[in-house]
Structure 1
Amino acid sequence: MDDVRQIKDNEGHCIEDLAVGMTASFAKTVTEADIVLFAGISGDTNPVHLNQEYASGTMFQGRIAHGMLSAGFISAVLGTKLPGPGCIYMSQNLKFKAPVRAGDTVTARATVTELIPEKRRVVVRTVCTVGQTVVIEGEALLMVPSRG
């Protein structure tokens, strides 16, 4: 039984399965460790992310998480839920609207807005929120598998 479930977890939606309006989300609470590890992985050691004294003097009045850390949660939705495994991320535009801080829970939501079946493409509206506050909004273009 576990093997059958594992196989299904590795299968995403094909273009034939998708419809405008379909939506999925992924949520993660950002930790201090996430911010430090992302700085190390990405090489972005801007002190607004790592140094409280420095960050206190900025418009944010304290440390903030990397915008691309939160944007990465969009990739989690697209690659694991909608369309899911097998999709290829082709492009993404992002507008960073508000800061994210350690302890905030970011919810990334993806909503299908357009299907281009002849090219196996799907356009997805992407939004990240903390509570009711939009922190990132944008649009992604994906290539998805077809059964045909």
Structure 2
Amino acid sequence: MFARALDNQPRGTICIEDLEIGMTRYLLKTVTDRDIEMFAEVSTDRNPVHLDDSYAQDTIFEGRIAHGMLTAGLISAVIGEQLPGHGTVYLGQSLKFMAPVRPGDTVRAEVKVTAIDHAKRRVTLETHCAVGNTVVLKGEALVLAPSRKFD
């Protein structure tokens, strides 16, 4: 659904046995008009603040913005592709939207391991997205990490 992300870190799987508190992974993605249009089509969220320049100009944002969940989807991409990676199951995610993402903005989506429950294979991740020095989204994810014991 998204165009190529830039400057990504290696993809794959980090099993729970190899995770450590403080580990981080990220991706960079420039959000395009096409990304916003495709997200609107897939999600059926056609709010004109995302799609109509004239309408969006008269909002508090003074211009079009990307869907918040499009930005949140970048967090999912880091979790599912990098940390912990392939085989990870999302259990929960909190999100707080701090600032808008606009077409053309490059978003840095990052996750950081903050807690590991080896017995339950659960990993807590601090999550955030930023455009430059501006945090646009922050939250926390709880995931079920892959394990070599279940290969």
TM-score, normalisation: structure 2 = 0.90
- % identity of equivalent residues: 57
The 1:61/1:96 distance shift into structure 2, 3 A limit, reads: same
Q: How many residues were matched structurally?
A: 140
The structure carrying a bigger helix percent of its residues is 1
Q: Is the 8 A contact 1:11 1:86 kept in 2?
A: no
Partner of 2:45: 44
Distance, in Å, in 1 between the alignment partners of 2:74 and 2:12 is 19
Q: Which has the larger radius of gyration?
A: 1
User: Which ranges of 4 or more aligned residues in structure 1 deviate by more than 3 Å?
Assistant: none
Instruction: Note the residue ranges of structure 2 that are not aligned, 5 or more in a row.
Output: 1-9
Deviation string 1:92-137 (CA, Å, 9 cap, x unpaired) is 0000000000000011000000001110000000000000000000
- Does the 8 Å CA contact 1:70/1:128 hold for their aligned counterparts? yes
Equivalent residues in 2 for 1:1-148 (5 A)?
11-148=12-149
Distance 2:12 2:136 in 1: 30
Letter in 2 for 1:57: D
Going from structure 1 to structure 2, the CA distance change for 1:16 and 1:96 (only over 3 Å counts) comes to: same
Q: Where do 5+ consecutive residues of structure 1 fail to align?
A: 1-8
Q: How far, CA to CA, are the matches of 1:87 and 1:27 in structure 2?
A: 21
8 A Cα contact 1:95 1:136, kept in partner: yes
Query: What is the alpha-carbon distance in structure 2 between the residues aligned to residue 65 and residue 119 of structure 1?
Result: 36
1:46-100 Cα offsets, whole Å, 9 max, x none, are 0000111111111000100000001100011001111010111111000000000
What RMSD, in angstroms, separates the aligned Cα atoms of the two structures?
Answer: 1.1
- TM-score scaled by length of structure 1: 0.92
